[in-house]
Structure formats: C-alpha cells, structure tokens
C-alpha cells in the first residue's frame, strides 16, 4: 500500500487542484469514466460519462424536495445533472478548493446556484448534522480515501434513516494492489458489502460493470488527438512518462490494467 503521509485529504486536494482544468479540457466536465454498451458502441466520451451519471441518478431516484450529498463533486457536472433531472437540491464537497470554485461557478452559470452548492470538506469529518440528507453518492471518490470505513460511517451518519447511498468506483482485481503515492487506495470488490455493513448501511447491490467502462478504440483515438492538440498544457501536469503512455496506440493504459469498476447501492438502516 502507499505510504506517502501527505495523502488524503491534503495530497488528494493538491493533486486535483493541479490536474482538474487540463483533465476537463480533454475528457469533459464529468470527471469519471464513461459507460458503453460494448466495443461497437462509439458514443463520445462526454455522452458516455453522462450516461454513467444517469445510472446513478436512477439508483437514488431523489424527489424534488429532497437534499442529496455529493461526496467528491469534481467540477459539479454530476450534481448539476441530478438537480436538473430530479428537481432535488445538492450539496457537493471536495478536498480541492479549485474544484469547489469551478463547480460553484458552473452551477451559477447553469441557473442552479440556489439549489446546487459546493464547499471544501473532508469526507472523514463531514461538517453536517446527523440525518441531514435524503440521499448521497460517491463517484470515484472512495478510491482516494485510505480509511474507507471511517468515510462511510460519516456518510451514514448524515443520512436520514432509509436514505440511499450510491457508489461508483474502481477496485483492484485479485492479486493486485494499485495504491499509488497516497492518492489512490484500492480495495477488492468483495470488500464493499462488509464496508457498507460496518457503516450501518444495508447493501442492496454490488455490481461489477468493468466491461461496460472499457473505452472503445475510436474513442481512445479521439482522446489521443485531443492530447496532441493540448500537449503544451497537458505534459507539464502529468509528466512525460504518463503522457507518452496516453498517446501511444500500443499502450494498455486506457484499459486500466488491474482495475475493475463497481456500482453499489445501499440503504441507511431505519431508526429503532
């Protein structure tokens, strides 16, 4: 496992402060993976990532008068999509001050500044009262948290009894450990049910969708073209080695070797 003690939240926040703008320029406003039906599905990245967001909105199914917590909000696009499609209010958090500023600006530009708000906060110590949210999701944010049990306990604490949590995240395949410099801390898919139960959450489903997140070849090529067009911006951010892997057609970096992808849904236990 990674041993860099700067780690979450400071190291993760600084990492996303540095890469967010360039990443969004080449990938789009949803800073998470896309969802494709199969290798013949050539849906562009922006639409495929929005499709994954839609799957999560469906899992939560919030009502217009409800309040949803977005744990790891990126630059706000998933929260904006959820608010638009459901009428619910959203509070998003990130350890990246830059992401919070970008997300706040984007919500205001979308005309949703009164219902979609963002703040800098650590999921391990949420600044919200008990039972203050009707639903929550964590989209590719648990992977950055070394103490996932603590983070899930905090999320469970701020959920009302019966509220749902949806998770979309990467996991490591058996026999691998893909933790990296305190930025990425992976677990296996078989650990999710136990983590949810220890937090006082009832697992409803844990689904491996790895094959649906593999990027079709034409989409990889489109991404590589964007990288070449923005090389001067992208190269200083990721470094020469990563940049060379991303632009090399023979590299398997886009296939995330050793990683899988999980969707999970849980419900907060009812009050007794």
pLDDT digits (tens, 9 = 90+) for 107-157: 999 999 999 999 999 999 999 999 999 999 999 999 999 899 999 999 999
Active site amino acids:
140
What number of other Cβ atoms are within 10 A of residue 69's Cβ? Answer: 25
Average pLDDT over residues 251-255: 60
User: 75 or 21: whose pLDDT is higher?
Assistant: 75
pLDDT of residue 186: 86
Average pLDDT over residues 82-97: 97
Average pLDDT over residues 251-264: 78
| List of residues 6+ apart from 175 with CB closer than 8 A | none
Nearest to 107 by CA among 95, 121, 119, 96: 119
- pLDDT tier for residue 101 given thresholds of 50, 70 and 90: very high
For the chain, give the percent of residues with pLDDT over 90.
Answer: 66
Instruction: Evaluate if residue 266 carries a pLDDT over 50.
Output: yes
Rounded to the nearest 5°, which phi and psi values hold at 171?
Answer: -130, 165
Instruction: Evaluate if residue 192 carries a pLDDT over 70.
Output: yes
| List of residues 6+ apart from 117 with CB closer than 8 A | 90, 91, 92, 104, 107
pLDDT of residue 3: 34
- pLDDT tier for residue 1 given thresholds of 50, 70 and 90: very low
Average pLDDT over residues 194-202: 98
- pLDDT tier for residue 181 given thresholds of 50, 70 and 90: low
Q: Out of 76-90, 134-148, 212-226, which region has the weakest mean confidence (pLDDT)?
A: 212-226
Distance CA 92, CA 118 (A): 5
Average pLDDT over residues 45-52: 96
User: Where do the domains of the chain lie, and which CATH numbers do they carry?
Assistant: 10-217+257-268 (3.40.50.150)
This prediction has a pTM of: 0.88
Instruction: Evaluate if residue 55 carries a pLDDT over 80.
Output: yes
pLDDT of residue 226: 77
């Amino acid at each position: 496992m990674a041993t860099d003690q700067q780690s979450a939240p400071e190291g993760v926040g600084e990492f996303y402060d540095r890469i967010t703008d360039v990443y969004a320029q080449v990938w789009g406003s949803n800073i998470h993976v896309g969802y494709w039906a199969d290798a013949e599905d050539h849906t562009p990245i922006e639409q495929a990532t929005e499709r994954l967001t839609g799957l999560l909105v469906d899992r939560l199914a919030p009502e217009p008068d409800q309040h949803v917590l977005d744990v790891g909000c990126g630059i706000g696009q998933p929260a904006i999509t959820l608010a638009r499609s459901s009428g619910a209010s959203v509070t998003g958090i990130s350890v990246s001050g830059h992401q919070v500023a970008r997300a706040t600006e984007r919500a205001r530009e979308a005309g949703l500044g009164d219902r979609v708000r963002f703040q800098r906060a650590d999921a391990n110590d949420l600044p919200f009262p008990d039972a203050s949210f009707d639903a929550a999701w964590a989209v590719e944010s648990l992977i950055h948290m070394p103490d996932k049990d603590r983070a899930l306990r905090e999320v469970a604490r701020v959920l009302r009894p019966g509220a749902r949590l949806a998770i979309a995240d990467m996991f490591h395949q058996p026999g691998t450990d893909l933790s990296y410099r305190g930025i990425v801390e992976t677990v296996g898919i078989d650990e999710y049910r136990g983590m949810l139960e220890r937090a006082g959450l009832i697992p409803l489903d844990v689904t491996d969708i790895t094959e649906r997140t593999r990027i079709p070849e034409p989409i990889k090529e489109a991404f590589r073209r964007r990288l070449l067009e923005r090389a001067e911006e992208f190269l200083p951010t990721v470094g020469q080695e990563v940049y060379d892997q991303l632009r090399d057609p023979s590299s398997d970096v886009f296939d995330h070797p050793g990683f899988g992808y999980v969707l999970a849904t849980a419900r907060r236990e009812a009050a007794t």
